[in-house]
Amino acid sequence: MNFSQHLPALIVVVPLLFAFVMPLLARWRKQWCVPVTLGAIIFSFAAALQMAFQVMSTGPFSYYMGDWPPPWGIELGIDYLAAFAALTINGVGLLIIWFGSKDLLHELKPEVLGWYYTLYLLLMASMVGIVITNDIFNMFVFLEICAIASCGIISIKESRDCIEAAFKYLVLSVLGSGAFLLAVALLYMVTGHLNFTFMAEALPEAMVLYPNNLLVAMGLLVVGLGVKAALFPLHVWLPDAHSSAPSPSSAVLSALVIKVYAVAMIRLLYLVFPRELLGIAPVMEMILWMSTLAIIIGSMFAIVQDDIKKMLAYSSIAQIGYVFLGVGLMSESALVGGILHIFNHATMKSMLFLAAGAFIYGTGARKLSELKGIGHTMPIPTIAFCIGAFSMVGIPITSGFISKWYLALGALDVGRPFFTAVILISSLLNGIYYLPIVVNAFFSKPEEAVPAPKQLPREMLVPLALLSFGVILFGVYPSLILGIVYRAAQLLLGL
C-alpha cells in the first residue's frame, strides 16, 4: 500500500476536497484561495504526469474504488488516452487559473471570487473523472458535475448576457445528459453491466438479440455527448456561452470542457461498442459529415464576427470538428491527429482566449476594430495571439501544423482526399479571420488616440509566454507527446 498506488483516485479526490474547502478559506483566509487552488491543481498535474510515465512504462492499469473489484465496484481505467487527457486537462487548467488569479479580480465581484475557485476545482475534478473512469454511470455523474460547474463559471459574472448564456447552456446540457442517461439505461438493459470492459464483452452477444436497442443507445450517446461537445448542428449554445463568460472561463470551456466530451465519446465508440455495430449503422460516416460541416460553417461564422471572443468561440466549433474528423476517419494517422489536436487545440485556444482576456483587461476593447495598433502597446499578448493564429492556420513549426499533418495523412490513408481538402480549405478560412487581426495589431493605427493600456501583472504574462512556448515546442518536437498518442490510437483501434 503505497501512496502512488492511489494516485488515480487522488487525482480526482484532491481537487474535489479543496473545492469544498475553498468557501471556508474565502471567508477567513482570503489570500490563501489562489495558492491552495494552484496547489491542488499542481498536485493533480504531478499525479497525471506520474500516471503517464507509469502507463508508458508498464501499460494500462486500473484502480478499484474502495477495493471493490468490477463489476461491483467502480473501476478507474488508466489507459494511454486517459493519462494523456488528464495531463492535458491539468496542465492547461493550471496555466489558465494562474492567469485567472489576476484577471478575475477585475471581472468578478470580490465576494464571489472564492466561489469561482470552488467551481473551477469541481470542474477540473469532474473533467479528470470523465476521462479516467471506466464505469458508465460514474461517467454520467461526472458529466453532470461538469455541466453544472461549467454553467457556474459562466453565470458567476452576473451580467445579463452571462446569465442568459448559462441558462441556454444548462438547458441543452440537461438535454444531453438526459440522452446520455437513457443510453445508459438501454445499455444496462441488454448487458446488465455498467463497467466498460464488461459491457464490451457482453455487447457482441446482445447485438444479435437486440440490434435496434443498441443502435438507439449509440444514437443517443452521440447526440448526448455531441450536444455537450458542440458538434455541428448541436453547437447553438456555444458562441454565447464562451464569449460572454469571464476570459479564464472562456479559455477553460473552449480549450478543455468540450474536448472532454469528445474523449468520452472516443472511448465509448471505440472501446465499448463492437466494431460490427459501427458497420450496421453509418455512425462514423455521420460524425464525419457533421464534423466537415462544423469545420466549414464554424469558420465561416467566425469570419463575420466582430467581437474577438465570439470569433474565438466560433473557431472552437470548427476546431472540435477536427477532433471528430479524426475520430470518424478511423485510420491510425487520423486518430492520432484527432487526439493530438485535443492537446494542441487546448494549448492554442486557451492561449488565444487568454490573450483576448489580456486585451480586455488592458484596454477594455472587445471589438476587432478597436484592437488596431495593439501590438505596439501590449506586445506580449499580441505576440502570443500571433503565434496562436499561426498555429490555427497550420503554419509549420507550430503545433497546429502537426495535427493537421496527421489528419490530412489519415484522410489520404483511407483513400478520401476530399477530407484533406476540407482541412486545407478550413485552414484558409482560419487565415482569413485570424491574420487580419494580427496585421491590424501591428501595422494599423487606431482611429482616435487611445489611453495607454493597463500594465499586465506577471501572473498574466507568464502563462501566456509558457503557452506560446508550448505551441512552438510541440510544433518542433512533437515526439514529446506523440509516443503516448500513438499508443492511445493503437489501443483504440485494437492494433
393 binds another protein (CB under 8 A): yes
225, 265 contact by CB (below 8 A): yes
146, 119 contact by CB (below 8 A): no
Determine the Cα–Cα distance for residues 259 and 261; give it in Å rounded to an integer.
5
- Candidate ranges 56-64, 197-205, 303-311, 389-397; the one touching another protein (CB under 8 A): 389-397
493 binds another protein (CB under 8 A): no
Cell of 440: 491590424
Ramachandran quadrant class, 386 (left: phi over 0; alpha: psi -120 to 50; beta: rest): alpha
Cell of 255: 480549450
Determine the Cα–Cα distance for residues 74 and 422; give it in Å rounded to an integer.
41
Out of 25, 170, 238, 297, the only residue in the binding site for another protein (CB under 8 A) is: 170
Determine the Cα–Cα distance for residues 336 and 295; give it in Å rounded to an integer.
18
Smaller CB distance to another protein: residue 428 or 493? 428
CA distances from 301 to 348, 449, 457 (A): 19, 31, 34
Cell of 486: 500513438
Cell of 421: 481538402
Out of 75, 240, 332, 370, the only residue in the binding site for another protein (CB under 8 A) is: 240
303 binds another protein (CB under 8 A): no
188 binds another protein (CB under 8 A): yes
Out of 166, 253, 269, 272, the only residue in the binding site for another protein (CB under 8 A) is: 166
Shortest Cβ distance from residue 361 to another protein (Å)? 25
Determine the Cα–Cα distance for residues 453 and 266; give it in Å rounded to an integer.
44
Out of 49, 395, 450, 461, the only residue in the binding site for another protein (CB under 8 A) is: 395
Smaller CB distance to another protein: residue 161 or 459? 161
286 binds another protein (CB under 8 A): no
Site for another protein in 431-460 (CB under 8 A): 431-432, 435-436, 439, 443-445
428 binds another protein (CB under 8 A): yes
105 binds another protein (CB under 8 A): no
How many residues would you count in the chain? 495
The residues pairing with 61 across neighbouring beta strands, listed in sequence order, are 78
3-state DSSP helix/strand/coil percent for the chain, to nearest 5? 85, 5, 15
168 binds another protein (CB under 8 A): yes
Per-residue binding string, another protein, 397-426, x by CB under 8 A, is x----x-xx--xx--xx---x--xx--x--
- The residue with cell 448526448 is 224
Cell of 342: 485535443
Smaller CB distance to another protein: residue 254 or 426? 426
Site for another protein in 20-49 (CB under 8 A): none
Cell of 22: 475553498
Identity (one letter) of the amino acid at 248?
Answer: P
Determine the Cα–Cα distance for residues 400 and 43; give it in Å rounded to an integer.
28
- Candidate ranges 183-191, 202-210, 223-231, 457-465; the one touching another protein (CB under 8 A): 183-191
Site for another protein in 136-165 (CB under 8 A): 137, 140-141, 144, 147-148, 151-152, 155, 158, 160, 163-164
Give residues in contact with another protein (CB under 8 A).
137, 140-141, 144, 147-148, 151-152, 155, 158, 160, 163-164, 166-168, 170-171, 174-175, 177-178, 181-182, 184-185, 188-189, 194, 236, 240, 390, 393-397, 402, 404-405, 408-409, 412-413, 417, 420-421, 424, 427-428, 431-432, 435-436, 439, 443-445, 476-479, 482
